[in-house]
Amino acid sequence: MDKLKTIEIAPYNTNWPLQYEYEAQKIKKALKKTLVNIHHVGSTSVPELDAKPIIDIIAEVRTLNFEHNALLNLGYDYRGSFNIPLKKTFTARKPDVRINLHIVEQDNPEIELNLLFRDYLRKNKTAKDEYESLKYQLIKKETSHQKNNTFFRGYTLGKYELIQKILKKTGFKKLRFVFCSHYAEWEAAKSYRHKYFFQPNNIDDPYTWTFNHKDHKHFILYKGSTILGYAHIQLWPNYSAALRIIVIDKTMRRQGLGTEFMFLIEKWLKRQGYKSIHSESPPSALNFYKSLGYTPMPFNDPDHYEGSPQDITMGKIFKTSPLKTE
């Protein structure tokens, strides 16, 4: 069994803000007019907070459709989006500095989330100390697992509850969607599937295997720190996609959240180069799909799964030219 890399926590270093400023100037020149703003975020941006010695930077851009060459020439490697769909991540591992560069379009809620979290820790010593203490607790667990030659994936995941608690205190309330990655998100996905789709039919969920399949994407919708929606997308050949499930918590419906969720999912699909999305709509949801521009269209499921005979097959051809960016 392979061991995970040891996580290093270092005492706060007054050089971290200087390293940020130096790298930020180079990033500004590389991104030129596409750049809107740039921010130092993460633990190294909080004075007197012990942290992994990696400088986290968020760059706001006008569009994610930009050439990578200028950043690659600076020694950055493109790493994809990780668990945030509408993001590009680059890393640089140089002898004198390590950088994680997160690039999102302006107005992306991830910007406000990170800035509010950073500023809250800067102003609240109790929260900062609690966050720092938790890091060392998680490192201790990580070291124990290393000695026992067992996997420990809890450093990032283990900070989730405290981060959500702090975000709630900041007043962050924007909508954001992510790929399922944390235990709480997977539990929410299972709960939504069971409660709204399989329990009413008195059957167990037969498709939990899709949680570990590359062609199936599972999304969670947050409002602030609260999970209130879930969606399951299957990626078909020839850049078509199927909407298998979308659901908003019953207590939060009729507020336009489903429409906003679909907008974000479609935006992500288009950025991956997908040309169309297809769905089997129950009669009760038909007006919802029509309002989004879906029209009657053959489903043509390549896996030949049989839907309900009452469902109406709908689809939508994306009007914009696909630009694959991942």
Phi-psi region of 30 (alpha: psi -120 to 50; beta: other; left: phi over 0): alpha
Q: In this structure, are 185 and 63 located in the same domain?
A: no
By the 8 A CB rule, do 160 and 227 touch? no
Report if residue 295 sits inside a domain: yes
Q: In this structure, are 123 and 156 located in the same domain?
A: yes
Phi, psi angle pair for 223, to nearest 5° = -120, 105
By the 8 A CB rule, do 242 and 233 touch? yes
In 3D space, the residue among 286, 279, 282, 250 whose CA is nearest the CA of residue 265 turns out to be 279
By the 8 A CB rule, do 178 and 261 touch? no
Q: pLDDT digits over 121-149, tens only?
A: 999 999 999 999 999 999 888 665 444 44
- Going by pLDDT thresholds of 50, 70 and 90, the confidence category of residue 201 is confident
By the 8 A CB rule, do 85 and 178 touch? yes
pLDDT of residue 53: 96
Q: In this structure, are 222 and 268 located in the same domain?
A: yes
Give the CATH number for residue 16: 3.30.460.10
Top-confidence residue, 320 or 100:
100
Which of 172, 197, 224 marks a domain boundary?
Answer: 172
Asked which of 85-99, 259-273, 308-322 is least confident by mean pLDDT, the reply is 308-322
Report if residue 19 sits inside a domain: yes
Q: In this structure, are 204 and 122 located in the same domain?
A: no
Token match 């029209």: residue? Answer: 295
Q: pLDDT digits over 210-239, tens only?
A: 999 999 999 999 999 999 999 999 999 999
Rg (CA), the chain: 22
Q: In this structure, are 79 and 106 located in the same domain?
A: yes
Q: pLDDT digits over 32-74, tens only?
A: 999 999 999 999 999 999 999 999 999 999 999 999 999 999 9
Q: In this structure, are 199 and 223 located in the same domain?
A: yes
Q: In this structure, are 166 and 204 located in the same domain?
A: no
By the 8 A CB rule, do 237 and 256 touch? no
Q: In this structure, are 147 and 205 located in the same domain?
A: no
pLDDT of residue 230: 98
What percent of the chain lies above the pLDDT cut of 90?
84
One DSSP character per residue, 149-203 reads: T----HHHHTTHHHHHHHHHHHT---EEEEES-SHHHHHHHHHHHIIIIIGGGT-
The conformation of residue 18, written as its DSSP 8-state character, comes to H
Cα dihedral value 120, 230, 247, 306, nearest 10? 170
Report if residue 326 sits inside a domain: no
Q: pLDDT digits over 100-118, tens only?
A: 999 999 999 999 999 999 9
In 3D space, the residue among 55, 56, 50 whose CA is nearest the CA of residue 129 turns out to be 50
Report if residue 120 sits inside a domain: yes
State which amino acid sits at residue 231.
A
Q: In this structure, are 1 and 148 located in the same domain?
A: yes
- CA–CA gap between residue 91 and residue 77 (Å, rounded): 5
Report if residue 76 sits inside a domain: yes
- Going by pLDDT thresholds of 50, 70 and 90, the confidence category of residue 157 is confident
pLDDT of residue 166: 97
Domain count, the chain: 2
Q: In this structure, are 308 and 257 located in the same domain?
A: yes
- CA–CA gap between residue 207 and residue 31 (Å, rounded): 43
pLDDT for 152 beyond 50: no
Q: In this structure, are 84 and 222 located in the same domain?
A: no
Which of 156, 172, 188 marks a domain boundary?
Answer: 172
Top-confidence residue, 146 or 288:
288
Report if residue 118 sits inside a domain: yes
Which of 138, 172, 206 marks a domain boundary?
Answer: 172
Residue 81 sits in which domain range?
1-172
Q: In this structure, are 117 and 186 located in the same domain?
A: no
pLDDT for 320 beyond 80: no
Report if residue 322 sits inside a domain: no
Greatest distance between any 2 Cα atoms in the chain: 65
- CA–CA gap between residue 38 and residue 36 (Å, rounded): 7
Give the CATH number for residue 233: 3.40.630.30
